[in-house]
Structure 1
Amino acid sequence: TMSGGGIRKVRVQKTFCKSDIIVDLAKELILPNGRSSKGMIDELSINLFDFQKNDLPDDLSVGELYAKTGLNSLRFYLATKQSSALSSFKTSSLKNSESYL
């Protein structure tokens, strides 16, 4: 979509943490060729949020999230902002850039 990458449904190892998801999946699936409508990937700050729009801790694994939430499917939201800009994360378009894991 124009304001987001759309929904992606993927499977990951339960040992994956936020950095694994961002590096291995989000950048490849949501930001192909290292580019988005907001700019090149190295010009962006990338963050991952849970379904309540809470920032995910860096060291919390997918397996721990399953145990904590009791859900059988997890939904994460990828948000980007320009590194040099003072603007806040683009949470208004989170629904359009959601990813299922």
Structure 2
Amino acid sequence: MASIGVLTLELRMDHAHSLKEKRSVVKGLKERLRQRFNVSVAEIDYQETWQRSVVAAVTVASDHSRASSVLQSVEKEAVALLGPDLVGATLEWLE
């Protein structure tokens, strides 16, 4: 049976002084995660707020361990890219 994992990343960008600056950070993150890990990525909350964002990355795999491995790698990449801008990460499973 397929395993679906959802990694939710909470971002706080105190340095962003406009939606344009925030969207630049979010767009770069989304593109990087899509290219490197073949996951679906979307900004799911705070679209019109300058300094906050919630981004979700989703993967589907034939087994739980593969999906878990992919999403752990996604989280590590997000930490490397965002540093202190990443203030939270939550992993959920839909099985």
Give the alignment's TM-score, normalised by structure 1: 0.30
If asked which structure has higher relative contact order (CA below 8 Å, sep 6+), I would say: 2
More helix by share: 2
More strand by share: 2
